[in-house]
């Protein structure tokens, strides 16, 4: 689990983005944050990977999770 790469596509005003980031901090997992309100290439990358315009979009390894879906995050990370 520690080797997995996590990327979160966010905006500064998104409460679900904050919850996702807080959750990864609680788990002690580092992540890369892409603020799509300021990073046009990041926004385009997010839409290309997820087909979504809304945030958060969370990338764990090669898995895309739309929204803060804790159960799916846990399954993807192998947390019971």
Band (pLDDT 50/70/90 cuts) for residue 6 is very high
CATH number of residue 53's parent domain: 3.40.30.10
pLDDT of the residue at 13: 96
pLDDT of the residue at 2: 54
Residue 72 domain-assigned?
Answer: no
Q: Is 3 helix (H, G, I), strand (E, B) or coil?
A: coil
| Full domain range(s) for residue 39 | 6-65
Residue 26 domain-assigned?
Answer: yes
Residue 16 domain-assigned?
Answer: yes
Q: How many residues appear in the chain?
A: 80
- How far apart (Å, rounded) are the C-alpha atoms in residues 49 and 32? 16
Residue 53 domain-assigned?
Answer: yes
DSSP, res 52: -
Domains in the chain, number: 1
Residue 51 domain-assigned?
Answer: yes
Closest CA to 38 of 66, 13, 59, 4: 13
Residue 77 domain-assigned?
Answer: no
pTM > 0.85: yes or no: yes
- How far apart (Å, rounded) are the C-alpha atoms in residues 61 and 29? 13
- How far apart (Å, rounded) are the C-alpha atoms in residues 67 and 3? 22
């Amino acid at each position: 689990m520690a080797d997995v790469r996590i990327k979160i596509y966010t905006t500064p005003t998104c409460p679900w983005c904050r919850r996702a980031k807080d959750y990864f901090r609680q788990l002690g997992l580092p992540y890369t944050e892409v603020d799509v309100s300021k990073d046009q290439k990041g926004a385009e990358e997010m839409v290309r990977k997820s087909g979504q315009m809304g945030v958060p979009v969370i990338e764990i390894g090669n898995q895309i999770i739309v929204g803060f879906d804790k159960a799916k995050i846990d399954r993807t990370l192998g947390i019971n």
